[in-house]
Amino acid sequence: MLRRILGGYLERAPQSLQFTYNAYGKPALAACASPSWPLHFNLAHAGRYALYAIARRPVGVDIEQLRADIGWGEIAAAYFTPEEYGAILRRPPAEQHLAFFQYWSLKEAYAKGQGAGLSLDFRGFTVTWHPRYGPRLQALSEAPTQTINWSLRLLAPPSGYVAALALEAQDCQVSWRYWPDHSLV
């Protein structure tokens, strides 16, 4: 499916596309049809859904199935910043499980957009929520300016899922859709 989507954007046969991988395993196109129009992409899957992102700038996505068997408190305490963990705990108990998955999805989308995936230190950056503007990134401990140009969005996934997008751009238009991932069935 990814090859077909990328081939459509590049007007090339899907089977002609070649990929390279960075040190963390993030794929990229080996050669773009037009160097003046770079094509970035990312994908994620969970349960029976896949989420694909295609952009002209670095992009990351994540989709998570809301699972009751996850010990979210232990994971949040170990991988989230104290600010994020505290924000989850301040929510009503009935909303904390969902809040954990929202934070996780936003953080993972950003880490994937950076090209480092789960090897990026999740405690090195903070996701905050502004009532008017939604989720935002707060400074990265080792490189405070890296988060300035990134936008975070929670997407509207199918019921029972949480999804997020991170894009190296501010004030951008975003559209998305979900496909059942038949390759996982």
Q: Does residue 183 have a pLDDT over 50?
A: no
DSSP run (H or E) holding 134: strand 134-138
Question: Residue 63's domain spans which residues?
Answer: 37-184
pLDDT at residue 9, as a whole number: 86
| Calpha distance 72→84 (Å, rounded) | 13
- Long-range interactions of 171-180: CB distance < 8 A, separation 24+: 176/51, 176/53, 178/49, 178/50, 178/51, 179/1, 179/49, 179/50, 179/52, 180/48, 180/49, 180/50
Instruction: Convert the pLDDT of each residue in 35-62 to its tens digit.
Output: 556 789 999 999 989 999 999 899 999 9
| Calpha distance 33→21 (Å, rounded) | 18
Q: Does residue 169 have a pLDDT over 70?
A: yes
For residue 15, being part of any structural domain is answered with no
When pLDDT is cut at 50, 70 and 90, the band that residue 155 belongs to is very high
For residue 23, being part of any structural domain is answered with no
For residue 26, being part of any structural domain is answered with no
pLDDT at residue 33, as a whole number: 52
- Mean pLDDT value of segment 6-11: 88
| Calpha distance 184→9 (Å, rounded) | 24
**Structural contact between residues 51 and 45, judged by C-beta atoms closer than 8 angstroms:** yes
For residue 10, being part of any structural domain is answered with no
Phi then psi for 177, rounded to 5 degrees? Answer: -155, 160
Q: Residue holding tokens 């997407």?
A: 155
Higher pLDDT, 179 or 69: 69
Q: Is the pTM of this model over 0.85?
A: yes
* Residue 153's CATH number: 3.90.470.20
For residue 133, being part of any structural domain is answered with yes
Residue 49, CA distances (Å) to 35, 43, 70, 79, 160 in order: 32, 11, 19, 25, 11
For residue 171, being part of any structural domain is answered with yes
Q: Which range has the top average pLDDT, 5-19, 72-86, 140-154?
A: 72-86
For residue 95, being part of any structural domain is answered with yes
pLDDT at residue 36, as a whole number: 59
For residue 146, being part of any structural domain is answered with yes
Q: Which residues, 6 or more positions from 175, have their beta carbon under 8 angstroms from its beta carbon?
A: none
pLDDT at residue 134, as a whole number: 85
In the chain, pLDDT over 70 holds for what percent of residues?
A: 83
159 HSE (CA, 13 A, CB side): 0
Q: Does residue 143 have a pLDDT over 80?
A: no
Number of domains present in the structure of the chain: 1
> Within a 10 A sphere around the Cβ of 90, how many other Cβ atoms?
10
Instruction: Convert the pLDDT of each residue in 108-137 to its tens digit.
Output: 999 999 998 888 889 888 999 877 888 988
Which residue type, as a one-letter code, is found at position 115? G
pLDDT at residue 178, as a whole number: 55
- Mean pLDDT value of segment 180-185: 45
Tell the burial category of 145 from Cβ atoms under 10 Å away from its Cβ (0-12, 13-18, 19+). exposed
| Calpha distance 182→185 (Å, rounded) | 5
Higher pLDDT, 30 or 104: 104
pLDDT at residue 185, as a whole number: 34
pLDDT at residue 152, as a whole number: 93
